[in-house]
């Protein structure tokens, strides 16, 4: 989905594998002194923190530390319906308030849990694009009052969501299927955390940390992806206190820019038990060095606020990046990870997303589990709708366009059943 940002310069994406520049990926298992990392202990003490820092410094930016900054999180149930979805689910609408230095920000979180569940359930946590009221047409669901990108489908007016948006994203959120399989679903409108615009750190979660932003290095300050991921972690802080959610089994999921966000949330917060990147593309699962479809230069031109300022240094200069996106996936090891692409979504470079999984796999092997393959990491790109779900990394290529479809959810549910429900 391209949401109304017009590029100033013309840009011709490359869609030809033969025209991909020669590139060499940074070695995930090389430590800064050149020695090779050979154990999970070494990865956790040396490789992982160094890799995380490279992503903070060169790509997403550094977020405030919630402990050092005395951040507190409180939840208040605003409404509850015990017979939602024809009696299949309990639906709660919860205000989750993040406080720092007497200032606060409230995210509205919609939580569905199976009506039949006897205790805390593993739960998907994902941000949505169009407001909580877009995931289900029930008129009782609140409409967000935070800033929203204007859309030309009649669901916004003056950068605010309106009634007409009820249920418009229901196809992306098959709630009955999710609760029917024994899982919960928690969702938040991403604009409740940070408005998706270049606002110079004034609003949303960035605005809550004005002093901290002022003292931070302007080159490495947190962008919006880091802000949304920070909000996901604060949502998890609340879910840890919620009796209906099994907080040790929270699965962070996101589509597109919110898939990039889910990956960064999973990389920075090891409490997320499983991570799902749906069609996340450039700045998400796709390898930057392939420069196939959307490139670093192009994404920084269209959406400069998503990343830190230093990321601009790599516009048309991907080979100078000290990291590539397979290392982002490696930061999630050994937790189960799903990466998915769609055949018509060449902008997000499906092959580059798959290759990232392949090159992240050696870190999974350090933990004695396999990544994308079973016996080895050299696996061929699978055919459409032939999911690879052998190891701890799942990859599938759906037939169709850039979207989050029921087909994708069914793969994620299968993978979660395999890795989480049996814990």
Q: Which is nearer to ligand GCU, 74 or 302 (CB)?
A: 302
Q: Is 326 a catalytic residue?
A: no
**253 has which bridge partners?**
126, 276
At residue 278's C-alpha, the angle toward residues 242 and 398, to 5°, is 130
Per the structure block, which two tokens stand in for 39? 């154990």
Point out which span in 1-9, 34-42, 45-53, 227-235 binds ligand GCU (CB under 6 A): 1-9
Instruction: Compare residues 144 and 281 and give the one whose CB is closer to ligand GCU.
Output: 281
Q: What angle do CA 193, 197, 203 make, to 5 degrees?
A: 50
**Rounded to whole angstroms, how far apart are CA atoms 135 and 109?**
12
Cβ distance to ligand GCU smaller for residue 13 or 384 = 13
Our CB check for ligand GCU shows the closer of 85 and 127 to be 127
Nearer to ligand GCU, 127 or 379 (CB): 127
Asked if 39 and 365 count as a contact pair (C-beta separation under 8 A), the reply is no
Closest approach of Cβ 282 to ligand GCU, in Å?
5
Give 3 or 30: the residue with its C-beta nearer to ligand GCU: 3
- Nearer to ligand GCU among residue 75 and residue 293 (C-beta): 293
User: Rounded CA gap, 295 and 418, in Å?
Assistant: 35
For residues 22 and 353, the answer to whether their CB atoms sit within 8 Å is no
Q: Which residue has the tokens 């989750």?
A: 96
Q: Supply the minimum distance, in Å, between the C-beta of residue 246 and ligand GCU.
A: 29
d(CA 335, CA 420): 10
Among 2, 11, 15, 23, binds ligand GCU (CB under 6 A): 2
Q: Is 282 in the site for ligand GCU (CB under 6 A)?
A: yes
Q: Which strands make up the sheet holding 72-83, listed edge to edge?
A: 72-83, 89-100, 103-114, 184-189, 121-128, 245-255, 274-278, 337-342, 393-398
Q: How far is the CB of 104 from ligand GCU (least distance, A)?
A: 28
Q: 332-351: which residues touch ligand GCU (CB under 6 A)?
A: 347
Catalytic-residue membership of 256: yes
Closest distance of CB 326 from ligand GCU, Å: 18
- Can you tell me which of 257, 289, 351, 398 binds ligand GCU, judged by CB under 6 A? 257
Give residues with Cβ within 8 angstroms of 190, minimum separation 6.
127, 128, 129, 196, 228, 231, 258, 261
Sequence-distant (≥ 6) Cβ neighbours of residue 115 within 8 angstroms = 82, 83, 84, 87, 88, 89, 90, 179
Q: Which one of residues 256, 277, 295, 356 is an interface residue with ligand GCU (CB under 6 A)?
A: 256
How many residues bind to ligand GCU according to rule CB under 6 A? 11
What is the rounded distance in angstroms from the CA atom of residue 416 to the CA atom of residue 277? 14
Q: What is the nearest approach in angstroms of ligand GCU to the Cβ of residue 201? A: 21
From 146, 256, 288, 356, active-site residue: 256
Q: Does 195 bind ligand GCU (CB under 6 A)?
A: no
Residues 357, 364: Cα–Cα separation, whole Å: 10
What are the Cα distances from residue 161, in Å, to 156, 169, 222, 416? Answer: 4, 13, 26, 33
Beta carbon of residue 299, minimum distance to ligand GCU (angstroms, whole number): 5
Among 75, 231, 266, 281, binds ligand GCU (CB under 6 A): 281
Which candidate, 340, 376, 375, places its Cα nearest to that of 356? 340
On whether the CB atoms of residues 124 and 155 are closer than 8 A, the answer is: no
Does residue 299 bind ligand GCU (CB under 6 A)? Answer: yes
- Catalytic residue, candidates 133, 206, 359, 402: 402
CB of 374 to ligand GCU, least distance (A): 30
Residue with Cβ nearer ligand GCU (257 or 392): 257
- Interface contacts to ligand GCU, rule CB under 6 A: 1-3, 256-257, 281-282, 294, 299, 302, 347
Active site residues: 256, 402
């Amino acid at each position: 989905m391209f949401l109304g940002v017009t590029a100033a310069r013309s840009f011709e994406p490359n869609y030809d594998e033969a025209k991909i520049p020669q590139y060499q990926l940074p070695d995930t298992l090389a430590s800064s002194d050149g020695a090779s990392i050979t154990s999970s202990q070494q990865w956790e003490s040396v490789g992982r923190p160094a890799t995380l820092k490279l992503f903070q410094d060169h790509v997403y930016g550094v977020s405030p530390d919630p402990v050092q900054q005395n951040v507190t999180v409180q939840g208040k149930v605003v409404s509850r319906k015990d017979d939602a979805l024809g009696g299949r689910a309990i639906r709660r609408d919860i205000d989750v308030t993040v406080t720092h230095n007497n200032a606060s920000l409230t995210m509205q979180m919609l939580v569905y849990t199976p009506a039949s569940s006897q205790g805390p359930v593993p739960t998907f946590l994902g941000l949505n694009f169009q407001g909580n009221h877009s995931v289900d047409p029930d008129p009782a669901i609140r409409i967000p009052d935070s800033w929203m990108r204007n859309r030309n489908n009649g669901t916004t007016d003056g950068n605010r969501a309106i009634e007409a948006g009820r249920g418009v994203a229901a196809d992306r959120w098959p709630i009955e299927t999710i609760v029917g399989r024994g899982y919960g679903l928690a969702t938040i409108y991403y604009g409740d955390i940070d408005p998706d615009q270049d606002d110079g750190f004034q609003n949303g979660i960035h605005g809550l940390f004005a002093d901290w932003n002022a003292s931070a290095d302007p080159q490495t300050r947190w962008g919006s992806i880091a802000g949304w991921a920070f909000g996901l972690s604060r949502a998890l802080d609340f879910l840890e206190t919620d009796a209906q959610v099994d907080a040790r089994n929270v699965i962070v999921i996101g589509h597109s820019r919110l898939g990039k966000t889910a990956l960064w949330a999973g990389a920075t917060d090891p409490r997320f038990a499983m991570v799902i990147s749906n069609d996340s593309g450039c700045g998400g699962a796709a390898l930057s060095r392939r420069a196939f479809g959307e490139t670093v230069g192009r994404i920084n031109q269209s959406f400069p606020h998503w990343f830190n300022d230093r990321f601009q240094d790599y516009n048309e200069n991907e080979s100078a990046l000290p990291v590539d996106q397979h290392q982002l996936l490696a930061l999630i090891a050994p937790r189960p990870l799903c990466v998915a692409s769609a055949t018509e979504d060449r902008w997000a470079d499906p092959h580059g997303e798959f290759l990232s999984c392949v090159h992240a796999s050696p870190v999974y092997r350090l933990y004695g589990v396999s990544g994308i393959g079973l016996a080895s990491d050299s696996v061929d790109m699978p055919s459409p709708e032939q999911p690879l779900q052998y190891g701890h990394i799942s990859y599938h290529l759906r037939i169709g366009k850039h979207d989050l479809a029921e087909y994708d959810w069914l793969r994620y549910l299968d993978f979660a059943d395999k890795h989480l429900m049996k814990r």
